[in-house]
């Protein structure tokens, strides 16, 4: 009897379409909103929240059809992340990070994928920046290091970590001379990773993005990979920037939530000092409209650029410089606009914002913290500017440049 993987997924009742995953994400959002305070205090996702996320299909949304996954486009993935972030930013952040399992599979050999990812809703987390030390040994590497900002590592199945490669204690150069000191990604079972309980932050408090260490763990050669050598089918998800594309959905989802919250309040509030309804107040009308204008442009920029890039990559084409540049610029713009809109709305609601019982407090802190994440940093602007001007981009992966 032949069974297609999709049929299998459907048989198991797992969500296997964009529409279904998106619907489940939207349905989960109010639950996440209610539990946001608890998630924050827990400083990582409670175990049952992880299972609620798993139930939406978010962790499998990037898995390829041939593995039985639903293989959502980046646009659909972003919509799912937005929907979750409408409920809670930390949960959405971990949802997005955990969904990298599918894309990572594209960089592993097929037999390894079958071995490490028997299911498509397993969670891979970790830090890609090469902060570790990997000594070449027979059959693989001995990995040691400490990594910062390991969002969602605690509830993950596999941890992927970047490390520089050494041989006999010396930096290992690529055999073809292309790289004087090679770095790779290393896949390690969660059990072999130690967490350091140091995630105490302004916002995104529930992501559990603490430091972690790996000490002298043997990693077989075939559980290592680089983003420059996809081994699966080439797709718009197998370019190195794909990992960051949908993450800005967190910023968009939070902003939409804040806008809706402020609009709902503005519809009924009366100014105590003057007796004017907020719905008739120029201050309120203009602040809300400016925020809507900025949000609409920002969100359109994200989906417009992403759609165009997807079309070109899917057709096997080479994006123009402007098309490449538009992608990381739109992420950065999403994070920064989200924060500036949330700040503006926080001020609009004045003392109604400051209490912890108002979601504005959390959204302010979440968006501020998000803006410190690499895709929102000045280095993105610097790199894209350099790319467009013919200079040397520092952060090339954001541009999807692999050569």
Q: What does 17 bind: other proteins, a copy of itself, none (CB cut-off 5 to 8 Å by kind)?
A: none
Cα–Cα distance measured from residue 193 to residue 355, given in angstroms and rounded to the nearest whole number: 38
**Count of residues that bind other proteins according to CB under 8 A:** 82
207/235 with CB nearer other proteins: 207
Under rule CB under 8 A, which residues in 123-182 are in contact with other proteins? 148-149
* Residues binding a copy of itself (CB under 8 A): 281-283, 286
Separation between Cα atoms, residue 239 and residue 316, nearest integer Å: 12
Q: Does 325 bind other proteins (CB under 8 A)?
A: yes
Which CB, 11 or 283, lies closer to a copy of itself? 283
Contact status: 183 vs other proteins (CB under 8 A):
no
Nearer to a copy of itself, 282 or 389 (CB): 282
> Cβ closer to other proteins: 85 or 332?
332
The residue from 134, 384, 397, 399 that contacts other proteins (CB under 8 A) is 384
**Of 7 and 286, which has the nearer Cβ to a copy of itself?**
286
Minimum distance between the CB of residue 290 and a copy of itself, rounded to whole angstroms?
13
**Binding-site member from 30, 285, 314, 317 for other proteins (CB under 8 A):** 285
Strand partners, 170: 167
The verdict on 292 binding other proteins (CB under 8 A) reads yes
Nearer to a copy of itself, 27 or 286 (CB): 286
Contacts of 168 (CB under 8 A, 6+ apart): none
Identify what 161 binds: a copy of itself, other proteins, none; CB under 5 to 8 Å per kind.
none
> Does residue 280 interact with other proteins by CB under 8 A?
yes
Which whole-number Å values give the CA distances from 216 to 134, 143, 238, in the listed order?
Answer: 9, 5, 30
**Which DSSP category does 307 fall into?**
H
**Interaction partner, residue 178 (other proteins, a copy of itself, none; CB < 5-8 Å by kind):** none
Q: Tell me the two tokens of residue 255.
A: 């902003």
Backbone angles phi, psi at 194, to 5 degrees: -100, 135
- The answer to whether residues 382 and 338 touch, using CB atoms and an 8 Å cutoff, is no
Decide which of a copy of itself, other proteins, none touches 19; Cβ closer than 5 to 8 Å per partner kind. none
**Residues paired with 133 in a beta bridge:** 144, 164
- Minimum gap (Å) between residue 301 Cβ and other proteins: 3
Nearer to a copy of itself, 168 or 282 (CB): 282
Least CB distance to other proteins at residue 130 (A): 12
DSSP string, 218-282: EEEGGGEE-TT---S---TTSSTTHHHHGGGHHHHHHHHHHHHHHHHHHHH-B-TTT--BGGG-H
Cβ-count burial 269-279 (b if 16+ within 10 Å, e if not): beeeeeeeebe
What value does the CA radius of gyration of the chain take, rounded to a whole number of Å?
22
Contact between 343 and other proteins by CB under 8 A: the answer reads yes
């Amino acid at each position: 009897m032949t069974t297609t993987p999709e049929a299998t997924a459907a048989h198991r009742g797992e969500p296997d379409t964009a529409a279904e995953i998106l619907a489940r994400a939207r349905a989960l959002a109010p639950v996440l909103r209610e539990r946001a305070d608890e998630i924050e205090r827990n400083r990582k996702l409670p175990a049952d929240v992880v299972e609620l996320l798993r139930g939406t299909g978010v962790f499998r949304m990037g898995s390829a059809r041939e593995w039985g996954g639903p293989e959502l486009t980046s646009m659909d993935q972003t919509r799912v992340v937005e929907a979750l972030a409408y409920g809670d930013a930390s949960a959405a952040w971990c949802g997005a990070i955990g969904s990298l399992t599918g894309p990572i599979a594209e960089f592993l050999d097929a037999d390894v994928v079958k071995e490490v990812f028997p299911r498509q809703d397993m969670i891979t987390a970790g830090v890609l920046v090469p902060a570790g030390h990997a000594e070449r040994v027979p059959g693989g590497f001995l990995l040691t290091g400490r990594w910062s900002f390991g969002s969602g590592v605690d509830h993950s199945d596999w941890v992927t970590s970047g490390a520089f490669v050494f041989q006999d204690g010396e930096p290992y150069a690529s055999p073809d001379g292309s790289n004087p000191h090679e770095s790779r990604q290393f896949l390690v079972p969660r059990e072999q990773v130690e967490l350091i309980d140091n995630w105490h932050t302004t916002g995104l408090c529930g992501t559990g993005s603490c430091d972690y260490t790996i000490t002298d763990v043997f990693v077989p050669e075939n559980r290592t990979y680089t983003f420059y050598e996809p081994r699966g089918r080439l797709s718009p998800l197998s370019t190195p920037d794909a990992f960051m594309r949908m993450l800005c959905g967190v910023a968009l989802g939070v902003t939409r939530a804040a806008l809706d919250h402020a609009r709902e309040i503005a519809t009924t509030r009366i100014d105590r000092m003057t007796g004017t309804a907020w719905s008739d107040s120029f201050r309120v009308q203009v602040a809300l409209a400016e925020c809507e204008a900025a949000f609409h442009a920002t969100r359109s920029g994200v989906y417009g650029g992403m759609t165009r890039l997807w079309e070109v990559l899917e057709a096997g084409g080479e994006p123009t410089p402007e098309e490449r540049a538009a992608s990381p610029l739109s992420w950065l713009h999403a994070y920064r606009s989200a924060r500036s809109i949330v700040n503006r709305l926080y001020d609009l609601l004045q003392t109604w914002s400051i209490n912890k019982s108002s979601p504005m407090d959390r959204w302010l802190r979440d968006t501020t913290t998000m803006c410190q994440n690499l895709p929102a940093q000045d280095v993105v602007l610097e790199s894209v500017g350099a790319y467009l001007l013919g200079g040397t981009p520092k952060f090339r992966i954001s541009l999807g440049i692999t050569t």
